[in-house]
Chain A
């Protein structure tokens, strides 16, 4: 495979190119998924240091599990399935160690100075409040909203990676959305602000 054009390669071909032990191909796969997996973990664990620890575990598990990927599901579904398992493990360990989370005002990128500083500050504030609203939801709710709203996975894909029935996914997304709405209102975020 032409090593210079990996950016254009599909996830599946990239995954195949990683076998056996192609570190260059894996580095590309890593960078393709690093931020997505990390953001998912941040949504679930609410702790940047812990999310990064779990990210390392997820990536190593992907590397070790490359040969076990059967191609029956999408690569992204497979990867988020691994991330889900590792997140559950990580939360269990963190709970037993009674670790604290990251302060919520510290999880956002600093505001870039754009054309309209007032609007930028406003958007930043809304993002901050929205992240706080997400953090107040139950783990199940914020996880499924991340999958459905951010990753835009289909109901069957979410069902597969969470090992729950498709109908449970549909109703859980519905209730999670109602909770997010309440939580946003509680944070003072109105529909006009969004």
Chain B
């Protein structure tokens, strides 16, 4: 017989007694037993000490890295988010708000890297005058559009915002050219729509 064989069946209930997870019937039985059994009282004392030591030791361990959370949320987000079928680009006073929304939704999906390279490769420029209102500065030499994907740290939905920097010399035609390349209509009549496969 192993030396640690419990002397009483009650000894195997002492951890449950210590953590208050016994049924009421079991708890009363153990309480009665402890009044007359010094071996079980000693055992209970050890169980309590071991439990405290184990809890302290585990509480002092490092937690997981934030990468695990990001990985899980990205995976489930990819699975639940259907790719948008139609994107409307409204040309009205709040158009840049819509653009931001459109770009954000674009950059949440699989083909985002493709679109990003599209923007880099296509040396198109977006129109500064639209941002600064009528009479904004419009130069003569169009330059490249710079873009960056910036992950935002919201816990629920990891968003990526596309920041587009407009060169000061960009002209309306470059904005239209870019939208045209993205598959949007080129008419100034709004809304512009782009079908994304």
With A126-B56, A181-B50 known as contacts, the answer to whether A42 contacts B72 (CB < 8 A) is no
Interface segment among A78-86, A93-101, A168-176: the answer is A168-176
Q: Which of B57-110 contact A (CB under 8 A)?
A: 57-58, 60-65, 67-69, 71-73, 75-77, 80
> What 1/0 flags go to B144-174 for Cβ under 8 Å of A?
0000000000011100000000000000000
Q: Are A155 and B72 interface neighbours, CB within 8 A?
A: no
Would you call B60 and A124 a contact (CB within 8 A)? yes
A148, B80: Cα distance in complex, Å: 37
A173 partner residues in chain B, CB cutoff 8 A? 12, 15
Q: How many residues of B contact A (CB 8 A)?
A: 42
> What are 22 A-B pairs with beta-carbon distances under 8 A?
A23-B76, A23-B80, A27-B73, A30-B72, A34-B64, A35-B63, A38-B64, A39-B61, A51-B64, A63-B76, A108-B62, A130-B54, A130-B56, A146-B58, A149-B55, A150-B55, A174-B6, A174-B12, A174-B15, A177-B50, A178-B4, A181-B46
Secondary structure class of chain A's binding surface, majority of residues? helix
Number of residues in A with C-beta < 8 Å to the partner? 55
B14 to chain A: which residues have CB within 8 Å? 174
Contact residues of A between 19 and 65, Cβ < 8 Å to B = 21, 23-24, 26-27, 30-31, 34-35, 38-39, 42-43, 48, 51-52, 55-56, 59-60, 63
Give the interface centre of A52, A63, A134, A174 by most chain B CB atoms within 10 Å: A174
Is A152 part of the binding interface, using a Cβ–Cβ cutoff of 8 Å? yes
- Decide yes or no: A60 and B4 within 8 Å by CB, A24-B157, A152-B19, A174-B15 being known contacts: no
